[in-house]
Amino acid sequence: MRSVLIKNDYPASATRLWALATDYDALRQVAQGNVEFDGLPHGRFRAGQKVSVMISLFGIFPKRPYNIEILECDETRMVLRTCEEGAGIKSWRHTVTITETGGKSHLTDQVDIDAGWLTGLAAMLARHIYRTRHKPRLKLIESGVY
């Protein structure tokens, strides 16, 4: 098991950032170029939701089944927790936490990964994937969509 921690600041209220971070359509946009999803629903994440999709890393690897269970989606505390598996991943436990300080928001991605002997590579990919979501999120915030 490996843990990955990525922190980013945004020039938006926590409420706006939460709306962006918990929207499936926004996920498609911020993940573009890294992860392609087939079968991702529209709308907002909901606790108890189970989503089965096909994913492809970077759009070049064959699409493989991937399952996401939304364990927690707490609007008040602004905490999203998922348990994911598939495409060579035994367990991908992701926690998103959003806090606000001085009119700016802080988003933390904490991911605990078990991919067997590929865990180190999966952790490197996770770091890349979550770091590169920052710029598209900034653009969505600046556009006023969220």
Give the domains, in start order, of the chain with CATH numbers.
2-143 (3.30.530.20)
What pTM was estimated for this model as a whole? 0.95
pLDDT per residue as tens, the chain (146 positions): 999 999 999 999 999 999 999 999 999 999 999 999 999 999 999 999 999 999 999 989 999 999 999 999 999 999 999 999 999 999 999 999 999 988 899 999 999 999 999 999 999 999 999 999 999 999 999 999 88
Helices (DSSP H) in 22-118: which residue ranges? 24-31
Residue 67 region, left (φ>0) first, then alpha (ψ -120 to 50), else beta? beta
Query: Quick one: which of 134, 127, 129, 88 has its CA closest to 2?
Result: 127
| Inter-residue contact 136 to 35 (CB < 8 Å) | no
| Inter-residue contact 98 to 81 (CB < 8 Å) | no
The per-residue pLDDT for 82 is 98
Collapse the DSSP code of 134 into the 3-class scheme (helix H, G, I; strand E, B; otherwise coil) and give the result. helix
Helices first, then strands: H and E counts in the chain = 4, 7
The per-residue pLDDT for 42 is 96
The per-residue pLDDT for 49 is 98
